[in-house]
Amino acid sequence: MFNGIIKKTGIINKITKSENNCQIEILSNLKLSKKEIGSSISCSGTCLTLENINKNISKFFISNETYNKTIFKFSKKGDLINLEKSLLYGERVSGHFVLGHVDTTATIQNIKIIGKSWSIYFKILPKYKKYLIYKGSVTINGVSLTIAKLNNKGFNIVVVPHTLKLTNLIYAKKNDFVNVEFDILGKYIINSIK
Protein backbone atom coordinates (compact mmCIF):
# COMPACT_ATOMS: atom_id res chain seq x y z
CA MET A 1 0.00 0.00 0.00
CA PHE A 2 1.14 3.54 -0.84
CA ASN A 3 -0.06 7.07 -0.15
CA GLY A 4 0.56 8.73 -3.51
CA ILE A 5 3.09 11.26 -2.24
CA ILE A 6 5.89 11.07 -4.81
CA LYS A 7 9.38 12.17 -3.81
CA LYS A 8 11.50 10.31 -6.38
CA THR A 9 11.44 9.62 -10.10
CA GLY A 10 13.44 7.31 -12.30
CA ILE A 11 14.14 6.81 -15.99
CA ILE A 12 13.40 3.65 -17.96
CA ASN A 13 16.87 2.35 -18.72
CA LYS A 14 15.69 -0.76 -20.58
CA ILE A 15 12.31 -2.24 -21.47
CA THR A 16 11.86 -5.67 -23.03
CA LYS A 17 8.41 -6.48 -24.35
CA SER A 18 7.13 -9.86 -25.51
CA GLU A 19 3.68 -11.24 -26.37
CA ASN A 20 2.73 -12.13 -22.81
CA ASN A 21 4.80 -9.95 -20.50
CA CYS A 22 7.39 -7.23 -20.09
CA GLN A 23 10.55 -6.65 -18.11
CA ILE A 24 11.69 -3.19 -17.16
CA GLU A 25 14.82 -1.63 -15.67
CA ILE A 26 14.59 1.76 -13.99
CA LEU A 27 17.57 4.00 -13.25
CA SER A 28 17.00 6.14 -10.15
CA ASN A 29 18.49 7.41 -6.92
CA LEU A 30 15.72 5.75 -4.86
CA LYS A 31 17.54 4.13 -1.94
CA LEU A 32 17.00 0.35 -2.13
CA SER A 33 18.86 -2.54 -0.57
CA LYS A 34 19.10 -6.23 -1.43
CA LYS A 35 16.85 -6.88 1.59
CA GLU A 36 14.03 -5.11 -0.28
CA ILE A 37 14.02 -7.55 -3.19
CA GLY A 38 10.49 -8.94 -3.31
CA SER A 39 8.95 -5.76 -1.90
CA SER A 40 6.39 -3.58 -3.68
CA ILE A 41 7.36 -0.35 -5.42
CA SER A 42 4.85 1.99 -7.05
CA CYS A 43 6.09 2.70 -10.58
CA SER A 44 3.92 5.51 -11.97
CA GLY A 45 1.07 4.15 -9.86
CA THR A 46 1.57 0.49 -10.75
CA CYS A 47 2.47 -1.80 -7.86
CA LEU A 48 5.44 -3.84 -9.11
CA THR A 49 7.58 -6.37 -7.26
CA LEU A 50 11.27 -5.50 -7.05
CA GLU A 51 13.05 -8.46 -8.65
CA ASN A 52 16.64 -7.31 -8.47
CA ILE A 53 18.84 -4.27 -7.98
CA ASN A 54 22.28 -3.48 -9.34
CA LYS A 55 23.62 -0.16 -8.03
CA ASN A 56 21.05 2.42 -9.24
CA ILE A 57 19.16 0.02 -11.55
CA SER A 58 15.93 -1.59 -10.28
CA LYS A 59 14.48 -4.53 -12.22
CA PHE A 60 10.79 -5.43 -12.42
CA PHE A 61 8.62 -8.00 -14.23
CA ILE A 62 5.28 -6.81 -15.61
CA SER A 63 2.60 -9.45 -16.11
CA ASN A 64 0.33 -9.51 -19.15
CA GLU A 65 -2.65 -8.28 -17.09
CA THR A 66 -0.68 -5.31 -15.75
CA TYR A 67 0.88 -4.60 -19.14
CA ASN A 68 -2.53 -4.41 -20.83
CA LYS A 69 -4.09 -2.13 -18.16
CA THR A 70 -1.26 0.38 -17.77
CA ILE A 71 0.82 2.89 -19.67
CA PHE A 72 3.67 0.38 -19.86
CA LYS A 73 2.28 -0.86 -23.19
CA PHE A 74 3.23 2.59 -24.55
CA SER A 75 6.44 3.05 -22.55
CA LYS A 76 9.90 3.34 -24.05
CA LYS A 77 13.49 3.80 -22.95
CA GLY A 78 14.04 7.27 -21.47
CA ASP A 79 10.50 7.72 -20.10
CA LEU A 80 10.29 9.28 -16.63
CA ILE A 81 8.59 7.12 -13.98
CA ASN A 82 7.23 8.24 -10.58
CA LEU A 83 8.53 6.04 -7.75
CA GLU A 84 7.25 5.38 -4.23
CA LYS A 85 8.20 2.71 -1.71
CA SER A 86 5.37 0.96 0.10
CA LEU A 87 4.23 2.44 3.40
CA LEU A 88 5.59 1.38 6.75
CA TYR A 89 3.03 1.06 9.54
CA GLY A 90 3.11 4.18 11.66
CA GLU A 91 4.11 6.48 8.80
CA ARG A 92 2.14 9.61 8.08
CA VAL A 93 -0.39 9.18 5.25
CA SER A 94 -0.40 12.56 3.51
CA GLY A 95 -2.32 11.55 0.39
CA HIS A 96 -4.85 8.73 0.41
CA PHE A 97 -4.64 4.94 0.47
CA VAL A 98 -3.27 3.83 -2.90
CA LEU A 99 -2.98 0.13 -3.74
CA GLY A 100 -1.05 0.44 -6.98
CA HIS A 101 -3.73 -1.62 -8.75
CA VAL A 102 -4.30 0.49 -11.85
CA ASP A 103 -7.93 0.48 -12.98
CA THR A 104 -7.48 1.98 -16.42
CA THR A 105 -5.61 4.55 -18.44
CA ALA A 106 -6.90 8.01 -19.33
CA THR A 107 -5.97 10.43 -22.07
CA ILE A 108 -4.94 14.01 -21.38
CA GLN A 109 -7.39 16.23 -23.25
CA ASN A 110 -6.02 19.62 -22.29
CA ILE A 111 -3.67 21.41 -19.91
CA LYS A 112 -4.31 24.96 -18.70
CA ILE A 113 -1.71 26.87 -16.72
CA ILE A 114 -3.28 28.89 -13.91
CA GLY A 115 -0.63 30.93 -12.15
CA LYS A 116 1.99 28.35 -11.19
CA SER A 117 -0.46 25.43 -11.07
CA TRP A 118 -1.65 23.21 -13.92
CA SER A 119 -5.26 22.23 -14.52
CA ILE A 120 -5.20 18.91 -16.40
CA TYR A 121 -8.30 17.51 -18.13
CA PHE A 122 -8.62 13.74 -18.61
CA LYS A 123 -10.89 11.65 -20.82
CA ILE A 124 -11.90 8.19 -19.59
CA LEU A 125 -14.26 5.50 -20.82
CA PRO A 126 -17.88 6.14 -19.74
CA LYS A 127 -18.03 2.90 -17.71
CA TYR A 128 -15.52 4.36 -15.21
CA LYS A 129 -17.35 7.64 -14.54
CA LYS A 130 -19.24 6.07 -11.62
CA TYR A 131 -15.97 6.03 -9.65
CA LEU A 132 -15.43 9.79 -10.02
CA ILE A 133 -16.59 12.01 -7.17
CA TYR A 134 -16.23 15.79 -7.07
CA LYS A 135 -13.52 16.60 -4.51
CA GLY A 136 -12.81 12.87 -4.17
CA SER A 137 -9.38 11.26 -4.46
CA VAL A 138 -7.86 9.80 -7.60
CA THR A 139 -4.37 8.55 -8.38
CA ILE A 140 -2.70 9.68 -11.62
CA ASN A 141 0.63 7.97 -12.40
CA GLY A 142 0.88 7.16 -8.70
CA VAL A 143 0.25 10.74 -7.54
CA SER A 144 -2.55 11.27 -5.01
CA LEU A 145 -4.76 14.08 -6.36
CA THR A 146 -8.18 15.63 -5.81
CA ILE A 147 -10.84 15.74 -8.53
CA ALA A 148 -11.46 19.44 -9.14
CA LYS A 149 -14.26 19.13 -11.73
CA LEU A 150 -16.33 16.51 -13.48
CA ASN A 151 -17.39 16.84 -17.11
CA ASN A 152 -19.09 14.77 -19.81
CA LYS A 153 -15.90 13.07 -20.94
CA GLY A 154 -14.09 12.68 -17.63
CA PHE A 155 -12.57 14.96 -15.01
CA ASN A 156 -9.86 17.45 -14.23
CA ILE A 157 -7.36 17.91 -11.45
CA VAL A 158 -5.15 20.80 -10.40
CA VAL A 159 -1.47 20.12 -9.77
CA VAL A 160 0.42 22.53 -7.51
CA PRO A 161 4.02 23.61 -8.28
CA HIS A 162 5.62 21.39 -5.60
CA THR A 163 3.97 18.25 -7.03
CA LEU A 164 4.88 19.26 -10.58
CA LYS A 165 8.52 19.66 -9.54
CA LEU A 166 8.72 16.18 -7.98
CA THR A 167 6.73 14.09 -10.50
CA ASN A 168 6.58 13.18 -14.16
CA LEU A 169 3.40 15.27 -14.52
CA ILE A 170 5.65 18.25 -15.34
CA TYR A 171 6.26 16.57 -18.72
CA ALA A 172 2.60 15.75 -19.39
CA LYS A 173 1.18 16.93 -22.69
CA LYS A 174 -2.05 16.68 -24.66
CA ASN A 175 -2.90 13.13 -25.85
CA ASP A 176 -0.53 11.44 -23.36
CA PHE A 177 -1.84 8.37 -21.56
CA VAL A 178 -1.70 8.15 -17.75
CA ASN A 179 -2.37 5.39 -15.23
CA VAL A 180 -5.53 5.89 -13.18
CA GLU A 181 -6.48 4.24 -9.89
CA PHE A 182 -9.83 5.21 -8.44
CA ASP A 183 -10.29 5.60 -4.69
CA ILE A 184 -10.55 2.14 -3.08
CA LEU A 185 -13.31 3.19 -0.67
CA GLY A 186 -15.51 4.31 -3.56
CA LYS A 187 -14.93 1.04 -5.40
CA TYR A 188 -15.93 -1.02 -2.34
CA ILE A 189 -19.07 1.06 -1.77
CA ILE A 190 -20.18 0.80 -5.41
CA ASN A 191 -19.53 -2.96 -5.40
CA SER A 192 -21.53 -3.46 -2.18
CA ILE A 193 -24.66 -1.73 -3.51
CA LYS A 194 -24.85 -3.64 -6.81
Kindly state whether residue 68 falls inside one of the protein's structural domains: yes
Query: Per residue of the chain (194 residues), what is the pLDDT tens digit?
Result: 899 999 999 999 999 988 778 999 999 999 999 999 999 999 999 999 999 999 999 999 999 999 999 999 999 999 999 999 998 888 777 888 899 999 999 999 999 999 999 999 999 999 999 999 999 999 999 999 999 999 999 999 999 999 999 999 999 999 999 999 999 988 888 888 86
Asked whether residue 40 falls in the same domain as residue 116, the answer is no
| Domain coverage including residue 77 | 8-85
Range 11-17 contact pairs with CB under 8 angstroms and sequence separation of 24 or more: 11/78, 11/79, 11/80, 11/81, 12/75, 12/76, 12/77, 12/78, 12/79, 12/81, 13/57, 13/77, 14/77, 15/72, 15/75, 15/76, 15/77, 17/67
One domain, residues 79 and 134: no
In a domain, 171, yes or no: yes
The last residue of one of the domains, among 31, 52, 85, is 85
Same domain, 25 and 60: yes
91: in domain: no
User: Which residue in 69, 68, 28, 66 sits closest to 49, CA to CA?
Assistant: 66
Within-domain flag for 97: no
CB atoms within 10 A of CB 128: 15
Task: Count the neighbouring beta carbons within 10 Å of the beta carbon of residue 85.
Answer: 18
**74 and 111 share a domain?**
no
- Predicted local confidence at residue 178, as pLDDT: 98
pTM: 0.93
C-beta neighbour count of 106 within 10 angstroms:
24
Let me know if residue 99 belongs to a domain.
Answer: no
The C-alpha atoms of residue 52 and residue 188 are separated, in whole angstroms, by 34
Q: What's the structural domain count of the chain?
A: 2
What does the alpha-carbon distance between residue 151 and residue 63 come to, in Å, rounded to a whole number? 33
